[in-house]
Amino acid sequence: MKIVKVKNFKKINKFDCVLVSFPSRKNFTNLLLASIIEEIKPELLCRFVFTDLPVTIISNKEFYPPSIDFYYKKINNNKFLFVIGNYKPKEPELYKKIYNIIKKGEEIFFLNEYSREEGDVLFFRKEFRKPKIALSVFKDKTKEINNALIKGFPHFLFDFMEKDKKNITFLFFNSEGNFLYAIDVLADLFGEKTDYSKIKQLFKTLKKEEKKIRYIG
């Protein structure tokens, strides 16, 4: 694995909020987070490039090795780190490297998906300390979690966060539900003024044309 970092990577050593998305069955949350990254243009801080894997990501007719990217942006005086991967590691030592970066966050959010006919988003949270950022979007919606018995989520990563008493939130978005609502949920978390008009117009157009979205890379 090759790790690429920008020059000021070490200077940005603390985050108010970290959002993490890995590939899932329909890649709903990767599409969600990638769309937001495209809209708000954060700074790329670091990239894990898996050059030793026999896997290739195809994007815009170009071929790339799998990677996990770490983006940074300050929004309304809060420092946000966005972590998005087109590859989900299996080795504990790789998750340890990922955790060494995301543990710099006060609040850690993991984006995931579920598939049902009803509902838009489920909130699960483990809180060790009073949050420093506004979390009104989660009011009266969260269910407490005591372990990481969550399909596709490595239990040892949960153990790392629990040991360090990190506030953890799992957001499960309905992959059969409203994508624009999912955008609004995260926009409320950011307190960002942008209306994500480009993203919303894209999905309104695609909905009219009755096309399905598939995110690659």
Q: What is the mean pLDDT of each run of 10 residues along the chain (217 residues)?
A: 77 89 85 85 90 62 79 90 88 89 92 75 81 64 60 75 88 77 76 62 52 38
**Looking at residue 79, what is its pLDDT?**
92
* 3-class SS string, the chain: CEEEECCCCCCCCCEEEEEEECCCCCCHHHHHHHHHHHHHCCEEEEEEECCCCCCCEEECCEEECCEEEEEEEEECCEEEEEEEECCCCCCHHHHHHHHHHHCCEEEEEEEEEECCCCCCEEEEEECCCCCCCCCHHHCCCEEECCCCCCCCCCHHHHHHHHHCCCEEEEEEEECCCCHHHHHHHHHHHHCCCCCCHHHHHHHHHHHHCCCCCCCCC
* Residue 177 vs residues 54, 116, 189: alpha-carbon distances, Å: 34, 8, 19
**What was the pLDDT predicted at 212?**
44
pLDDT of residue 125: 82
Q: What is the pTM of this model?
A: 0.82
Residue type, 173: F
Cα separation, 81 vs 8, in Å, equals 14
At 216 the pLDDT is: 36
Domain layout of the chain by residue ranges: 2-208
- What's 2-208's CATH class? alpha beta
What pLDDT is attached to residue 217? 35
Give the per-residue pLDDT at 84: 93
Q: How far apart are CA 108 and CA 120, in angstroms?
A: 21
